[in-house]
A and B are shown apart, each in its own frame.
Chain A
């Protein structure tokens, strides 16, 4: 009698507790969405914690007009080249190290991974000076180069593990048919690595898009700022216009949410293979 009663009660208890926790988890997001749809007068008169009196999309227009379009554009101009360059360079290194008997290949791979684990703080000042010397300080090119370079080790390491799993018969057969090293890489190894490339690509997109530290270290010109640091700047500009700041925040989150939803399956598997580092 008792076990069945407990079994009947348990799902109910589980869903009540989990449902409450999940609702609490989503509450901050709901608050931002609602705030972004309120008017300045409503917020000024009644405060952030009040119920809205009416909803409008006006603050989104204001946020986009205040330079957020440009900031999102900057983010994409930085993020897309970083993702492409990262995947190209990391897959090249991973292919050579995983499929060929290169001397010191283990050492090279571990050095690359170790370079990736150095805290950014240790690199900031010298990297800033290096970009000044090359004339790429305060330019998007500089940010692209640095963000690509400091991340390479991790992506190479993960792809290396993945490429080692490709059966040797496949590449051997292609070589006998006269394929070159480059041909095998381009036509056989890369297509077989697609799932890992998708996983790492979506991770790289999110991490690059969400970067704050490197952007505020290497960029000074406000018109070049990507959206993550730019919305921080809007905070000062729109001081207490919480509706505009909320709208800007929602807009800044949209691209990564799209990538996450589109590549959800790969994204989580990416985090997991990533954790194997």
Chain B
């Protein structure tokens, strides 16, 4: 009797549950699909290839016959590879010059255009405009400027500096620097917008108080504006390092790394050897180096700024 009551009650509870459970299970399945489909799609096309790259970097592979495991050979080969050393040096130079100048330029513009004033909106829009263009569009625009009969040489001739004219993109002494200008032209407006957002958080009352206390503009910048910009600076640094180290389009569009590899970056060298060339192993090792360089730069900055915060 008791047993039958038990089974009865259990049965009925199970019956009630199964209605809710069925709905719950369906809802759960929907949720699971909502997360897992996008997650799986992304992981399959990012982490899985990235892991594959690490493995491929330990092999010699022409892309057709099966890969041969060679251990760290590809990495050791970099030491004696003249082009790699040039590309690495250029990449560091690019990081310092392109990164540094875009941050300084963007910060300067943001400071100048921060306070509401007549015409400020127009100036901001002008400096921001190139951000919407592709690097390829900027490249073609600047190619015309750098042509032998282009604007730069035309101006130099006009002011009597004819002996300074040259084929800017075809001269191994100037090609890399000539590439930095169009890249800056397109990047500075973006950094400006980031800093403008950071400056919005600076309390104007602080400046007023400091002014009444007799602080100069420079002192106010050093002791009020800069410390308050710290959070956005971290963001700007990460954006700049990532953008600088993956810079590819502008170089590919204008010089393809030439002449004689003088404007080669690690990204363009990786593309020519690994994707266009048939040295998939070496190309993957170069990709791993680019990845490590990005991570290392950001980690160094984070550690430094953490230490500064501790001492501050």
Which residue of B27, B149, B245 contacts A47 across the interface (Cβ within 8 Å)? B149
Pick from B27, B39, B135 the residue with the most CB of A within 10 Å. B39
Residue of B with least CB distance to A131: B45
| Cβ contacts A18-37/B at 8 Å (1 or 0 each) | 10001001101101100100
B contact residues, range: 35 or more
A26 to B248, CA, bound (A): 24
Which residue of A15, A35, A96, A146 contacts B34 across the interface (Cβ within 8 Å)? A96
Quick check: B46 and A123 within 8 Å, CB to CB?
yes
| Cβ contacts A98-140/B at 8 Å (1 or 0 each) | 0010100100100110011111111111111110000000000
| Stretch touching chain B among A1-9, A166-174, A207-215 | A207-215
Provide the residues of chain A in CB contact with B140, threshold 8 Å.
32, 231-232, 235, 245-246, 248-249
Quick check: B275 and A256 within 8 Å, CB to CB?
no
Decide yes or no whether B78 CB sits under 8 A from chain A. no
A29 to B185, CA, bound (A): 11
| Interface residue SS majority, chain B | helix
Decide yes or no whether A59 CB sits under 8 A from chain B. no
| Stretch touching chain A among B6-14, B50-58, B96-104, B302-310 | B50-58
Task: Quote the shortest CB–CB distance from A97 to chain B (angstroms).
Answer: 6
Decide yes or no whether B134 CB sits under 8 A from chain A. yes
Interface residue ranges of B267-293 to A (CB < 8 Å): 267, 270-271, 274-275, 280, 283-284, 286-288, 290-291
Which residue of A29, A116, A122, A130 contacts B141 across the interface (Cβ within 8 Å)? A29
Decide yes or no whether B161 CB sits under 8 A from chain A. no
Provide the residues of chain A in CB contact with B119, threshold 8 Å.
15, 18
A119 to B271, CA, bound (A): 13
Task: Quote the shortest CB–CB distance from A205 to chain B (angstroms).
Answer: 10
Task: Quote the shortest CB–CB distance from B43 to chain A (angstroms).
Answer: 6
Which residue of B30, B112, B149, B193 contacts A268 across the interface (Cβ within 8 Å)? B193
Q: How many A residues have CB within 8 A of the partner chain?
A: 87
Residue of B with least CB distance to A48: B150
Quick check: B197 and A275 within 8 Å, CB to CB?
yes
Which residue of A35, A93, A260, A268 contacts B144 across the interface (Cβ within 8 Å)? A35
Decide yes or no whether A56 CB sits under 8 A from chain B. no
**Given A25-B185, A212-B249, A125-B35 contact (CB < 8 Å):** no
Quick check: B42 and A271 within 8 Å, CB to CB?
no
**Given A18-B123, A26-B126, A123-B46, A271-B134 contact (CB < 8 Å):** no
A132 to B256, CA, bound (A): 26
Interface residue ranges of B102-157 to A (CB < 8 Å): 112-113, 117-119, 122-123, 126-130, 132-137, 140-145, 147, 149-151, 153-155
Decide yes or no whether A89 CB sits under 8 A from chain B. yes
Chain B residues with a Cβ under 8 A of chain A: 27, 30-31, 34-35, 37-39, 41-50, 52-53, 56, 63, 112-113, 117-119, 122-123, 126-130, 132-137, 140-145, 147, 149-151, 153-155, 185, 190, 193-194, 197, 232, 235-236, 239, 242, 245-246, 248-249, 252-253, 266-267, 270-271, 274-275, 280, 283-284, 286-288, 290-291, 294
10 more A-B contacts (CB under 8 A) besides A31-B141, A105-B35? A18-B113, A32-B140, A92-B35, A92-B37, A153-B42, A232-B252, A242-B144, A253-B133, A259-B132, A275-B235
